[in-house]
Amino acid sequence: MIDKGKKNVLGINVSAVDYEGAVQAVVEAARRRKPFKATALAVHGIMTGALDREQRWRLNAFDLVTPDGQPVRWALNLLHKSGLNDRVRGPDLMPLVCERSARLGLPIYLYGSRPVVLEQLKVRLTEAYPDLIIAGARPSLFRQSTDQEKKTIAEEIRRSGARIVFVGLGCPRQEVWVYEYAELLKMPAIAVGAAFDFHAGLLSEAPRTLGRWGLEWLYRLLQEPKRLWRRYLLLNPAFLAMLAAQSVGLTSFDDRGMEPQNSHNYA
């Protein structure tokens, strides 16, 4: 197990951790019924915080920020000599946490996406992990919620008996959700990105070879060019330029950010 703590990458404190270290941190918080904010960030996620001081504040309040993309892992190794041999992807972390939760009898809750995705996801997870307890599931409202809706959602999740919540709302909405709900829930909340669609069998994952070379973004761009072209073709070069500046000491990136002034209540 590897857990070397958090390291600054463009002002975002990323956990130098492997899969076992990440799973152990989540499960331990669940067993202790402790609020715990977790996410897995690729380049896009890092850049949302690097370019937005309020989002940087949110991300740096997380207990666990795993290096989802190879470029983020490479950045940890380049800047901090972290010695990580693999990234820690949200779609791969989710089944590992589910497997451990099934063994330990820790119920999970699924929040986000669409009803059809959640129904198929529940079927797939139950087939893969027969002992897994899925305490409940709720689709996204695809809009900001009211304060009353936020309280209702949090209460519903708590009353379900869940001990871990998986959140699939897309970046950066899911990180905002985790930031705003974790203390209300009193349990780990993990933002896992496209994991819901992948594990429901409704979206294909990039071949592992592309992932090893840091080209998973290209596969996803070819799948959804209209939605993703700005994310990848603009932010990827910006990430590399900022990383180069940090690596040679031309600049340093402040990790303090700015505390959000208003609640977004994404749902």
How many angstroms separate the Cα of 31 from the Cα of each of 64, 174, 180, 195?
16, 23, 21, 23
Note the residue count of the chain: 267
Mean pLDDT for the chain overall: 93
The answer to whether the beta carbons of residues 48 and 55 sit under 8 Å apart is yes
Comparing CA positions, the residue from 225, 264, 257, 226 lying closest to residue 55 is 257
Residue 53 has pLDDT above 80, yes or no: yes
The answer to whether the beta carbons of residues 36 and 100 sit under 8 Å apart is no
Q: What is the pLDDT of residue 159?
A: 97
Is there a domain that residue 147 lies in? yes
pTM: 0.93
Is there a domain that residue 205 lies in? no
Please compute the mean of the pLDDT values over residues 143-164 and round it to a whole number. 93
Is there a domain that residue 214 lies in? no
Q: What is the pLDDT of residue 111?
A: 98
Is there a domain that residue 37 lies in? yes
Is there a domain that residue 167 lies in? yes
Q: Phi and psi of 144, rounded to 5°?
A: -75, 140
End-to-end CA distance of the chain: 34
Q: Per DSSP, what are the bridge partners of residue 164? A: 108
Q: What is the pLDDT of residue 125?
A: 98
- Residue 123 token pair: 């079927």
Is there a domain that residue 247 lies in? no
Domain count, the chain: 1
- According to DSSP, the β-strands at 64-67 and 3-9 are unpaired
How many angstroms separate the Cα of 171 from the Cα of each of 115, 191, 202, 240, 265?
19, 9, 19, 20, 14
Is there a domain that residue 173 lies in? yes
Residue 254 has pLDDT above 80, yes or no: yes
The answer to whether the beta carbons of residues 24 and 49 sit under 8 Å apart is no
CA distance 38 to 67: 11
Which domain covers residue 42, as residue numbers?
3-199
Residue 124's domain is classified under what CATH number?
3.40.50
Provide the strand spans (E) within 105-155. Answer: 108-112, 134-138
Is there a domain that residue 83 lies in? yes
Read off the pLDDT of residues 202-243 as tens digits, 9 standing for 90 and up.
877 768 776 677 777 777 777 778 777 777 788 899 999 999
